[in-house]
Structure 1
Amino acid sequence: MMIDITQHAVRLRDGRDASVFRIAAPGGIALWVAELGATLLRIEAPDRNGHCANVILGDVDIGRYPAALGLPEDPRFGASCGRVANRTAGAAFVLDGTRFALDENESPNHLHGGRDGFSRRLWRGRSVPDGVEMTLSSADGDQGYPGDLSVLARFALVAADTLAVTYRATSDRPTHVNIVSHPYFNLSGDPAATIDRHQLAIAADSFLPIDAMALPDAAAQPVAGTPFDFRAPREVGSVIDADHPQIHAADGFNHCFVLSTDGPRQQPCFAARIHCPASGRVMTLSTDQPALQFYSGNALCADGEATGSQLAFARRTGLCLEAQAFPNAANRPDFPTTRLDPGQEYRSELRLHFAVEA
């Protein structure tokens, strides 16, 4: 399969240059990824009539993103979040008897790697035969984390209709790692349309209930008989405002789903499927991670003037499916560990397959 890769540089507000890569397969999908935040800017996929449109919330101009403008309010559209994505309670953890205080960027907690996390860093990218590789060095003490961490992100077309996003990392000291790709999907191709009519399926028999700060506060609960039962496809809008205490807690969905598996996921397995009846587009998500965070874009706001952002989308016009470890795993010994020791390699792989239904 021939892959077409082009590259151009964008001058950021602070004077740095950030490359943007376009990766495309003839007759297939095309994507744009930027060095700033290792960010997926755009994924174009055909609808049932062969019309290609962007199916994630974003813009090919990385200079319009909050990270480029130095704005604190950042939905992290399409970015790579780390060193540890999602929330860490109390912005701290204890590792081998030592307490490490993290950047408290969602007081009193730590979110998506901190104020200067991976989503706001300038990665270094290069073309490879099937896509782009990007590297980042995170020094000991970065946002409070121990260890010098070396990170690689790879965005590759493994087929004309399939994108693979792979993260790898090594550390010279024990630390915690959980890196997440954070695109907001809207398969209608219309960023002004809500995701209410999207049909969603998630391969999960249980989910993690959350407290008022969106942290897991109890053991996993069965999805059966609740608005969280996506084992068979259901319309997001039919349950997003359900009268359920957990829906009230998140103002919709912002929950971690425990993916069903017969054992450790050594390779990407089916995790979720989105279908947009209006466009006919279908996206199937596979991952080797144990969980999937479903966020329904409840806090998105179309009024960019309120935050100074040049990139703004209305409430619930995109949904995130974040393949990852369990939130707050560094403080929860009952959760699968996110610990990474010297001599080990962290690895996470996400695959997005696009198709159409008549």
Structure 2
Amino acid sequence: MRTFTLTCLALFMTLTGSPSQAASDAAVEDFDSIKLYTLKNDQGMTVKVTNYGAIITSITVPDRDGNPGDVVLGYNNVEGYINAVDKPYFGAVVGRYGNRIAEGSFTLDGETYSLAVNNGENSLHGGIIGFDKVVWTVKSADDRSIELTYVAKDMEEGYPGNLDVSVTYTVTDENQLVIDYHATTDKATPVNLTQHTYFNLQGEGEGSILDHELMLNANEFTPVDQGLIPTGKTPNVEGTPFDFTSAKPIGRDIDDDHEQLTFGGGYDHNWVLNKSGEADAPTLAARVHDPASGRVLTVSTTEPGIQFYCGNFLDGRLQGKSGKTYGHRSGFCLETQHYPDSPNQPNFPSTILRPGDTYQTQTVFGFSTK
């Protein structure tokens, strides 16, 4: 039988400063359950996961010369994730609704629900205490896979329904990290789960990601207003800085004089994925190559969209696990998802989960070199 590595994370720590309500809630009764789990294969790939926020704290994969390196941003202890300036959601599963819901409100089956507002006038990534700030239960774990579960109570952060959620991380021999999401509910409710890991394929803390070459398998994207809420339109990317249909450096067009880049401070948008094959089978969403290390990240998903965010709000105030600061655009996210604000956008694919149905999505992060 496989064994798994279990490491306690700073359980007797003293929180300083002004911790958030999420921190105090966790500390009262759940801190003794926070652990760190190590998944690995025989090819030199290692993934570390904590049950606080279902956070991926580390992914170590070899470069083109076989040298291992950690390629995700994060911290060495729970305090770092709880007390991080501006709460960047490093490595976390976000929900109940990943991304933004306009004005923290939506109407479902004739009833209007008011959500916790935490991003200007909008609700972002589940609210004030989203899934990234709670302690998940570890249902099973070995050295290749871990399943984490959480029950979000009816009206938690304003969302209707008791939502039973599970997230499973699995490392394969092909240097893939497979992420499976499942959820059921006892009331109709919006659900949109995603993984918020920040990548730097040159290595965590190794500077800008602007030379990384990105391909997005998407001919359209969803433009936003100044509050980063989609307008409802899905224009073609051709002839715009948002065209990644052929691989190009992330930094090539990022400073172009374009209204959407001004609104996002760079790229912080959802792309409409070109889907092919069976609906429940993952299809290619993105590919990223770092010329310096030779590492390649491929993202496949069953989801209809992907949010590409290039660390526009990182500004050097956060110091990561290697002791290096995270400067402007030193990490990127590829968040597979349904579109932002879908509960208020009837033309977007529905995110409503109803009793008797099962929310089930899969995303695969694959690593290689060239």
CA contact (8 A) 1:187 1:281 kept: yes
Quote the residue 2:208 is aligned against.
194
**Aligned counterparts of 1:311 and 1:169: Cα–Cα separation in 2:** 37
Other-structure match for 1:6: 5
Runs of 4+ in 1 over 4 A off after TM superposition: none
Question: Residue 5 of structure 1 contacts residue 24 of structure 1 at CA under 8 Å; is this kept in 2?
Answer: no
- Relative distance call for 1:312 and 1:147 in structure 2 (3 A) is farther
Match of 2:35, as an amino acid? Answer: S
- Alpha-carbon spacing, 1:4–1:128, altered in 2? closer, same or farther (3 Å): closer
- Aligned twin of 2:19: none
Q: TM-score, normalised by structure 1?
A: 0.93
Q: Does 1:167 align with 2:181?
A: yes
- Residue 350 (structure 2) aligned to one of 306, 324, 337: 337
Q: Is the contact between residue 199 and residue 235 of structure 1 (CA under 8 Å) also seen in structure 2?
A: yes
- Which residue of 131, 156, 171 maps to 1:118? 131
User: Which residue matches 1:108?
Assistant: 121
Inter-partner Cα distance in structure 2 for 1:294 and 1:82? 17
1:33 aligns with 2:49: yes
Counting strand residues as a fraction of each chain, which structure ranks higher? 1
Return the letter of the residue paired with 1:80.
V
Q: In 2, distance between residues paired with 1:30 and 1:192?
A: 19
Q: Deviations over 1:241-273 (max 9, x none)?
A: 112121112111001000002466311111000
* Aligned-residue offset at 1:73: 2.4
Contact 1:200 1:235 in 2 (8 A): yes
In structure 2, how many angstroms separate the alpha carbons of the residues matched to 1:264 and 1:213?
Answer: 35
Stretches of structure 2 that go unaligned for 5 or more consecutive residues are 16-26
Tell me by how many angstroms 1:160 deviates. 4.2
Q: Is the 8 A contact 1:269 1:287 kept in 2?
A: yes
Counterpart of 2:132 in 1: which secondary structure?
helix
CA RMSD of aligned residues (A): 1.8
| Deviation sequence 1:314-345 (CA, Å, 0-9, x none) | 11000110000010000111100000000111
- Residue in 2 that maps onto 1:292: 306
- Partner Cα distance (1:120, 1:239) in 2: 35
Contact 1:3 1:25 (8 Å CA) reproduced: no
Post-superposition Cα deviations, 1:199-245, rounded to whole Å, max 9, x if no partner, equal: 00000000011110111114101011111111110011111111212
The amino acid of 1:120's aligned partner reads: K
Aligned to 2:297: 283
Identity of aligned residues (%): 36
- The answer (yes or no) to whether the contact 2:85–2:318 under 8 Å persists in 1 is no
1:28 CA drift (Å): 3.1
1:101 touches 1:144 (CA, 8 Å); kept in 2? yes
Q: Which runs of 5+ in 1 are unaligned?
A: none
Aligned residues, how many? 349
Deviation at 1:348, TM superposition (A): 1.7
TM-score using structure 2 length:
0.90
Tell me how far apart the structure 1 counterparts of residues 88 and 317 of structure 2 sit (CA, whole Å): 13
